[in-house]
Structure 1
Amino acid sequence: MLTIGLFLVGLLLTYYMYWINKWRNPKCNGILPPGSMGFPLIGETLQLLTTSYSLDLHPFIKKRVQRYGPIFRSNVAGRPIVVSTDPEFNHYILGQEERLVEIWYLDTFSKLFLSESRINSAGYIHKYIRSFFLSNFGSENLKEQLLPQIEDMINKTLRSWSNQPSVDVKYFASVAVCDFTAKIFFSYDAEKLPEKLSETFAKFIEGLISFPLNIPGTAYHQCLQDHRKAMSILKKIIVERRNTVEKRGADVLDRCLNDMEKEKFLTDDFICMLMFGGLFASSESISSITTLMFKFLSAHPEVVQELKAEHVKILKNKKGSDPSSITWEQYKSMTFTHQVINETLRLGNVVPGLLRKAIKDFQFKGYTIPANWTIMMVTSACQINPDVYKDPLVFNPWRWKDIGSAIVSKNFTPFGKGTRQCAGAEFSKVTLSVFLHVLVTKYSWTMIKEAEVRRDPILGFGDGIQIKLVEN
């Protein structure tokens, strides 16, 4: 019996060592990028989720770049991954979509947003989604319809903020943008409905980038609960709209429902996920950058002064009977304002990187990227590259006066690049520009509570940045 027991223990140890060796040295028909696969099953997930209090690259990425170089391998949540801060590799990958790579999301994202399989199943679905957002949030619609609505929303929002002892910028900005976007999508009126959709979205992000462990008490479990609540509200709105006998065509949801007759992939669930993704993307990105701008502006009064000078000049040059309304030409003339926004976006890096999945084995710079491996392009690394931006972690809007368009196109991609570039990029920039216009011409503020910037790995602000807004 002792001999048999020792034999079984030896067999188990042998299998364990074989399994560990196989985990650490994945099969590859070539040379893998250098790196470590971390612990079995969980890989290096915990290191990636470690909180960092800096605008610099997340330590998970920075330490490995220093050790292995700009392209390295790892394992996140049980999935093998190649991480790249190499601009040449990233540019190459972005040009190989549907040939060597396809879009991919973390399991958390794919369960909560439009599924990977639906997005990649046909190119025309992606084209429809992109056209959907561009037609409603692109330059033409902004110029023709949305610009005055955005200004009105911001005026009401800041007036409301000034009537409160203090406001948590991230939370209140998220609520305001979510309510506004929902109004465009399906004529949502937050004041008339008992269920506050925007409040659910404001809490949703807290558990989005977390280890996908669905156990009560975990951040991911709460994230799923908030997701279900938001989806329930959206589905109810869609069903009610479908059952109305009135002629449809008043808002975005009506147009989607009308398109169902010719686009067979459009279902209630698909439209619901489409709305959910749009609400999340707009409210999260704009609220994060708005919060970071307050942090920067509070620390740099000289920037506020130049912003005021630019916008006071715009007010003086206004013509017509409605001096409060901003025109498209005036928005385009906000040179320094755009520099402030660009500098905030450059340092903001709301998401850690762009994700793709290799369709088949391919080689680059002597390395083989195996099929089905995930690729994370850390495009934000270019935005804090000291060879491109002097003192890259310093907030300096004036630097943009001397940066050429060629450098910008290669080293500034806050909204992605290529066919996957964010269709709401111009909407975000317009909203931020008008926000600054109203803010510096009508209000002043005091920082009540200043939190550290936090990355885990999505941009956050600790316990929140709170201000007291005062109307001039």
Structure 2
Amino acid sequence: MWVLCLATLFFIGITHWAYRWRNPSCNGKLPPGSMGLPLLGESLQFFTPYTSSDIHPFIKQKMERYGPIFKTGFAGRPTVVSADQKFNNLIFQQEGEMFQSWYPDTLNKIFGRQNLSSLHGFVFKYVKNMVLHMFGPEGLKRMLSELEQKACTTLQHWSCQDTLDLSDATKRMIFELTAKKLLSCDSKETLESLMNNFNSFMEGLISLPLNIPGTAYHKCLQGRKRAMKTLKSMLQEKREKPRKEVSDFFDYVVEELSKEGTPLNEEMALDLMFTLLFASFETTSLALTYAIKALSDNPSVLKKLEEEHEGILKGREDPNSGLTWQEYKSMTFTFQVINETIRLANIVPGIFRKTLQEIKYGGYTIPAGWAIMVCPPTVHLNPTIYEDPLSFNPSRWVGMDMSPASKHLMGFGGGIRFCVGADFAKVQMAVFLHNLVTKYRWRPIKGGNIVRNLGLRFPEGFYVRIMEKDASKWRPIKGGNIVRNLGLRFPEGFYVRIMEKDASKTPLNQVVNHSSLC
């Protein structure tokens, strides 16, 4: 009998719990919507992949049914999704007063409890200023020539390959560059180890949070663990043997850690390094790959971009001089291309906050402690803001607010939480595009299909062939040494690449042993 009573009480408790989840209490009128299953909410619907460039089908369906502000359940928490431009602006402007940066516990576990998005108040401003010391305008001016050198050597290397997966190659290029600026890391073994760990990390980042061996989420956590072990070892080495002059961001971190009364601690420093490496590893490389794909699909845009950069070269007294900061700032159409890339790529599909107090907006009441998800794609693809929003049209930005922190463009967030690496990403993209379109051509070979799953992916890669613009009919590759022994010999052969003069076309042959052609 007592078993039946316990079962009845358990059933009543579960039923009451489920009812309270589906019908949360509120001192006013909650936004419309549905909460989904207890704890799980409607998280599975958010994770559903899709292949269009439009708004996520789940979000779009909810907007059509409930309007631009609706409630749902996400990651076990009551959540309000905002596609309302004015409400989004209020959320960003009232950071620390009405709203606070928040992300699900599963993401905090991945990025670290002391990562930049989890810091608040004075500590957040302190760490943000540390990053801006390295990646603010003055720091970027100093590293401009280094960025261009990396772009030049990378493109030269790519042009010697038959094909390459651009989505993977750009990831490697930007990661190596950022690792050098952050860690002064030139060791191929260390870079390869960190790259592999971040690959494991990325495979499970967008997955169900099941920390069971064999699952993607478990592999993600293991990848983070190994990467953090490497970073901690490097930090300890720098603390034991500090340099007299600051040459990378880690040196600056060590210097700050040694100061009396600093709010920075070792865990915070390591989580910061991990987050900055992640941003370089994934977001900027995806944006650059997307931009090159979009240029491939829109020849008229590519032609206009080429004209702008050829004009920069013609305006130089010394045609062989490097890119200057003034030239970078003059790239009007390039910035339009970058803005359009950010708008359409929608690499960051959601920006999270939580309410610090009860919020009343638009006739609705949002209780304190609820999560808020600002949805950038709903603004970026709004036809009342952007005509024909799914088309890649950089010229649409003429006369519009070009600031990456405008209320119409939220790819880098907004308010005081505006991404500290935004300018660094823009400079990298602009410098790379400058060298690409002035010196090289490319031809898509295969892949390039996009899948979106709370982010942007190229599941089949994006394979291209990079070729120099002024390529002659052939290029020596290796060999060519002559030995004379009662005659003329090429004992190692003479390998060349044969190409049509219009290097945008397919090479006649990949690599040929020229000495054996006869």
Q: 1:142 aligns with which of 127, 140, 143?
A: 140
- What TM-score results when the alignment is normalised by the length of structure 2? 0.85
Question: How far apart in 2 are the matches of 1:333 and 1:93?
Answer: 33
AA of the residue aligned to 2:22? R
Q: Are 1:232 and 2:203 counterparts? A: no
Question: How far apart in 2 are the matches of 1:363 and 1:117?
Answer: 30
Secondary structure of the corresponding residue to residue 72 of structure 1: strand
Structure 2 partner of 1:316: 314
AA of the residue aligned to 1:54? S
Structure 1 alignment gaps of length 5 or more: none
Structure 1 partner of 2:256: 259
C-alpha deviations, 1:209-239, integer Å up to 9, x for none?
Answer: 2221111222111111111111111111111
Check whether the contact 1:53–1:453 (CA below 8 A) recurs between aligned residues: yes
> Considering only CA atoms, is the larger Rg found in Structure 1 or Structure 2?
2
C-alpha deviations, 1:303-337, integer Å up to 9, x for none?
Answer: 221211211121111124x7241001111111221
Question: How far apart in 2 are the matches of 1:162 and 1:274?
Answer: 35
Q: 1:341 aligns with which of 321, 338, 341?
A: 338
Q: CA deviation at 1:353?
A: 1.7
Q: Are 1:464 and 2:469 counterparts? A: no
Check whether the contact 2:114–2:271 (CA below 8 A) recurs between aligned residues: no
% identical equivalent positions: 44
Q: Are 1:38 and 2:36 counterparts? A: yes
Q: 1:327 aligns with which of 324, 331, 347?
A: 324
Larger RCO (CA under 8 A, 6+ residues apart): 1
Question: How far apart in 2 are the matches of 1:196 and 1:160?
Answer: 22
- What TM-score results when the alignment is normalised by the length of structure 1? 0.93
Q: Are 1:413 and 2:417 counterparts? A: no
AA of the residue aligned to 1:299? D
Question: How far apart in 2 are the matches of 1:5 and 1:28?
Answer: 36
Higher deviation after alignment, 201-210 or 353-362: 201-210
Residues 20 and 293 (structure 1), Cα distance of their counterparts in 2 relative to 1, 3 Å cut: same
Check whether the contact 2:95–2:415 (CA below 8 A) recurs between aligned residues: no
Residues 356 and 245 (structure 1), Cα distance of their counterparts in 2 relative to 1, 3 Å cut: closer
Structure 1 partner of 2:366: 369
Check whether the contact 2:45–2:58 (CA below 8 A) recurs between aligned residues: yes
Check whether the contact 1:148–1:326 (CA below 8 A) recurs between aligned residues: yes
Structure 2 partner of 1:71: 69
Q: 1:92 aligns with which of 90, 93, 100?
A: 90
Check whether the contact 1:190–1:196 (CA below 8 A) recurs between aligned residues: no
Question: How far apart in 1 are the matches of 2:290 and 2:117?
Answer: 32
- Aligned-residue CA RMSD (Å): 2.2
Check whether the contact 1:119–1:125 (CA below 8 A) recurs between aligned residues: no
Q: CA deviation at 1:245?
A: 5.8
Higher deviation after alignment, 419-428 or 161-170: 161-170
Secondary structure of the corresponding residue to residue 31 of structure 1: coil
C-alpha deviations, 1:17-36, integer Å up to 9, x for none?
Answer: 32321121112222211111
Residues 27 and 198 (structure 1), Cα distance of their counterparts in 2 relative to 1, 3 Å cut: same
Secondary structure of the corresponding residue to residue 375 of structure 1: strand
C-alpha deviations, 1:172-228, integer Å up to 9, x for none?
Answer: 211211111111112110436475323432442222122211112221111111111
Structure 2 partner of 1:208: 205
Q: Are 1:440 and 2:437 counterparts? A: yes
Higher deviation after alignment, 338-347 or 449-458: 449-458
Check whether the contact 2:242–2:254 (CA below 8 A) recurs between aligned residues: no
Alignment of 1:131-170 (within 5 A): 131-143=129-141, 145-170=142-167
Structure 2 alignment gaps of length 5 or more: 470-518
Check whether the contact 2:201–2:224 (CA below 8 A) recurs between aligned residues: yes
Question: How far apart in 1 are the matches of 2:212 and 2:264?
Answer: 33
Structure 1 partner of 2:55: 57
Question: How far apart in 1 are the matches of 2:351 and 2:327?
Answer: 33
Q: CA deviation at 1:249?
A: 2.3
Question: How far apart in 2 are the matches of 1:169 and 1:48?
Answer: 28
AA of the residue aligned to 1:441? T
Q: CA deviation at 1:115?
A: 2.2
Structure 2 partner of 1:181: 178
Residues 74 and 324 (structure 1), Cα distance of their counterparts in 2 relative to 1, 3 Å cut: same
Structure 1 partner of 2:499: none
Compare the two structures and name the one with the higher helix fraction.
1
Secondary structure of the corresponding residue to residue 469 of structure 1: strand
Q: CA deviation at 1:166?
A: 2.0
Residues 417 and 8 (structure 1), Cα distance of their counterparts in 2 relative to 1, 3 Å cut: closer
